[in-house]
Structure 1
């Protein structure tokens, strides 16, 4: 598997002929975006690779459509590079209603879809649970999902994209014993001054627990730089993960922005 980290949550995954783009964010830096309840965030850095240089894409995995740090304006306009978009049910309805994509399919946690493409092995995608904040915040932050991807009949996923989530019971249950070849772990410890200490995504300590539970062959941190509302940026997260006990630190693979890395 080849992974190219582009910025924020955005990565290009190449596996068995499939070209998969996650949470497309391609706006230039400098703009401030509105989030829920009057919160805002500024995009600090732009994408390491321009959308025009990505090429054809088979599939976009969109954890949620309503936050600019997971789908910004250029990312939304560029969804057409992909044949299929998988996202939440609400996201698929919105993308279809606005004409952003003609094959946007909505999934709930636990739903599975099998994708086919000429010359490529069939791809089984299962939506995994996310909770984008503290209990009872879903009406404010909206629905989010992650994705596990596997070949037909495979014992374990080739890829797990966690999506934007905090640690909670359903996530722990799904993660335990998953053994994905590669996990894209969304961290960043999203916080806003308005809501004080409440976090809306995992931090590096949470990632350590998740890696211990899921035991991936490799864990690639994403969603950890480029935005002002990430309270734990890449430098701090890398220090925490480097000090992780046991085999966790050995599983973490940092992908330099814009440079593809090959994982077994």
Structure 2
């Protein structure tokens, strides 16, 4: 399979690459598999107390065959909207947190933090391992619910396999402490998709960020030691307080511009094998 075999349905099929479609939605082609994280395909407009400001760069019909969907959490429409939920339910396999898996039903499998699941690769290289990792959807000192979560249950993921780069997908995490724990347990992360728009809702936690702000994203990149960082979830919704210019500035000031990969939505970032 060539590095950029164009699918008749739209988005090209890559050997080892990441693209962001807008909002939190990323497509990861790795190990012969097509993986979609936090699918959001609704058109721009109001979604309850949140407002979507832009359509995705590629809709669900443009993705071709999808093997796996990752859902960091199912309770907020900016991470799983109506069309995204239908897309996930139609996928062969979905990984998410245990509580979300109960709500979503089949084909969702719930993974607690530090639990893993193996998925057969399509490139003949064995299995892809999907490791669930923790995330804190708000300030570290935020009030926790009965299940111990800030705001709600959120799950991040680490993808790995023989001969493949190790890829971390943060989900809506605002905690550097959590990133440090992930880096300690998984010391060789090659690439990271960081939700980095400093989402804020005035009624929650005194308006403090519910996801990484730009400086925290740069700090997370430094802690992880990742050679490639792809920011996501910084646009397409009105409650993001920082965008690509703030992200680029923070990485520049931290001396980490060389690892940051910002491309137009729907454009691939190639990952080293």
Rounded Cα–Cα distance in structure 2 between residues aligned with 1:199 and 1:255: 24
1:109 aligns with 2:113: yes
Rounded Cα–Cα distance in structure 2 between residues aligned with 1:85 and 1:209: 30
Partner residue in 1 for 2:93: 84
Check conservation: 1:56, 1:81, Cα contact below 8 A. Answer: no
Check conservation: 2:51, 2:239, Cα contact below 8 A. Answer: yes
CA apart distance, 1:117: 4.7
CA apart distance, 1:190: 1.0
Q: What whole-Å deviation, never above 9, does each CA across 1:140-188 have from its counterpart, x for those lacking one?
A: 6210010001115x7x962110111112433312124633221101111
Rounded Cα–Cα distance in structure 2 between residues aligned with 1:75 and 1:256: 21
Higher strand share: 1
Q: What whole-Å deviation, never above 9, does each CA across 1:90-122 have from its counterpart, x for those lacking one?
A: 1110011xxxxx221001111111112555430
Check conservation: 1:175, 1:210, Cα contact below 8 A. Answer: no
CA apart distance, 1:136: 4.0
1:53 aligns with 2:62: yes
Runs of 4+ deviating beyond 6 Å: none
Partner residue in 1 for 2:53: 44
Rounded Cα–Cα distance in structure 2 between residues aligned with 1:137 and 1:23: 25
1:187 aligns with 2:196: yes
1:215 aligns with 2:225: yes
Rounded Cα–Cα distance in structure 2 between residues aligned with 1:252 and 1:61: 23
Check conservation: 2:44, 2:54, Cα contact below 8 A. Answer: yes
Closer, same or farther in 2 for the Cα pair 1:28/1:138, shift >3 Å?
Answer: farther
Task: Give unmatched runs, 5+ long, in structure 1.
Answer: 35-39, 97-101
Check conservation: 1:132, 1:201, Cα contact below 8 A. Answer: yes
Task: Give unmatched runs, 5+ long, in structure 2.
Answer: 1-15
- Provide the TM-score with structure 2 as the length reference: 0.85
Rounded Cα–Cα distance in structure 1 between residues aligned with 2:221 and 2:108: 30
CA apart distance, 1:30: 1.7
Check conservation: 2:91, 2:107, Cα contact below 8 A. Answer: no
Rounded Cα–Cα distance in structure 2 between residues aligned with 1:205 and 1:136: 20
SS in 2 for 1:257: coil
SS in 1 for 2:203: helix
Rounded Cα–Cα distance in structure 1 between residues aligned with 2:99 and 2:242: 29
Partner residue in 1 for 2:143: 137
Closer, same or farther in 2 for the Cα pair 1:5/1:118, shift >3 Å?
Answer: closer
Partner residue in 2 for 1:99: none
Partner residue in 1 for 2:17: 2
1:241 aligns with 2:265: no
Rounded Cα–Cα distance in structure 1 between residues aligned with 2:216 and 2:24: 17
Closer, same or farther in 2 for the Cα pair 1:103/1:233, shift >3 Å?
Answer: same
Partner residue in 2 for 1:24: 39
Rounded Cα–Cα distance in structure 1 between residues aligned with 2:187 and 2:171: 16
Pairwise CA RMSD of aligned residues? 1.9
SS in 2 for 1:5: strand
